[in-house]
Amino acid sequence: MDYLKAQSVDSLKGTINISGAKNASLPLIAMTILAKNSVNIKNLPHVADIRTLLKLLTNLGAKVDFLDEKVVVDTKPLHETKATYDIVKTMRASILVLGPILARFGHCEVSLPGGCAIGQRPIDLHLKALEQMGAQIEIKAGYIEARAPKGLQGCNIIFDKITVTGTANIVMAAALANGKTTITNAAREPEVVQLCEVLNESGVTIDGIGTAVLTVHGTAGELINIPEFSIIPDRIEAGTYLCAGAITKSKITLTNVEPKHLGAVLAKLEEMGSSFTLTEDSITIHPAKKIKPVKIITQEYPAFPTDMQAQFMALATQADGVSIIEERLFENRFMHVSELQRMGADITLNAHTATVNGKTKLSGTDVMATDLRASSALVLAALVANGETNIHRIYHLDRGYDALEKKLGGVGADIQRLSE
């Protein structure tokens, strides 16, 4: 099993190119199930979750070819409609195939996703919405069995709470449905926006893209022609490297990035003393003279993302003062606290609120990644910790970061991947 060994650095300097967004790639890969053509996808990140979903599609009968700058997904030969547990258990986002398979074939079986380390991610919102669209759904022996022999029917759906994967799943299901589907309280994340934009370009008219109310005009079962597209830059990867610049008080530049997707992250970094030079597709962070404490509340986009909470907690350990971080989306997303405490961080937990007392001197030690974003938080802490830090269980990191140690090494970090 691999681990990362990192040493503290005085500063970082250089340029990091941001990869395509994992969270945009997953629904867009699932969307190819709706296509009547081979789909060319550019800028897919080289991360484990992408490989897992592509493997699931090939198990269902699709053909996947990896070319120099793109991946070609051909779902025309897709014939299986059962997503088995051995694949779904490794990645909860596999549930994204439920909507498109059901819409295309009128039936499907998808294994119930397993537990999630950071908290409950119930799929009842997905299932309730599909039932409103006329699907008959049963849970049998750990599988969701769904049928819609007459096709899915457009209807009005109101999500009780905002759900990113739920919105994506129902948008894809509605794309082939009979009639018009209106989704109220839809997620507005850039990853959902890109899914809607690509479907729109493929002949599925979607009104309200980027708003909380989406109206999808279904094709009545007709498969769609999906043009070549490129995955948007990963805003969470970009935010993580901005935090690397901030915690080491370094000037670094990110390229292939969408600054408009990072509004809340940039605002909090500015509160903490950093400044920025922005272009259409680059961000240069200028170091703070003194890192200031901050108050953060995680909420749905466009508010502060839960996927950046752990990284900002690592940064807050180096702020001069008390930072307050409130996690409103996932009940178990503070598991990295105990690992940061092992490094010397002064953090107190009270229910869903963490109080970070800075500035503290961190010391390198052996720590364990508990989830994807917690992994990157430990890497950030290691950049400023005295001595050597060994970060174990980095298979979590590999789920969502494309060559993190190489990218950080390219701007001066002393970090290497080793096997234990």
DSSP 185: S
Query: How many CB atoms lie under 10 A from the CB of residue 286?
Result: 15
323: left (phi over 0), alpha (psi -120 to 50) or beta: beta
Phi and psi, residue 232, nearest 5°: -65, 155
Looking at 108, 116, 155, 243, which residue is catalytic? Answer: 116
DSSP 226: P
Phi and psi, residue 24, nearest 5°: -90, -35
Residue type, 26: L
Where would I find the beta strands (DSSP E) of 26-93? Answer: 39-42, 63-66, 70-74, 82-83
Looking at the DSSP assignment, which residues form a beta bridge with residue 82? 109
d(CA 319, CA 305): 20
Examine the residue annotation and report whether 108 is marked as an active-site residue of this protein. no
For residue 174, what are the contacts with CB-CB under 8 A and spacing of at least 6?
Answer: 103, 133, 152, 154, 181, 183, 216, 218
- Answer whether 382's CB lies under 8 Å from 393's CB: no
Secondary structure percentages of the chain, helix, strand, coil, to 5 = 35, 25, 40
DSSP 134: T
Handedness of CA 94, 96, 99, 100 (dihedral sign): negative
* 24-155-32 Cα angle (round to 5): 30
Catalytic residue annotation: 116
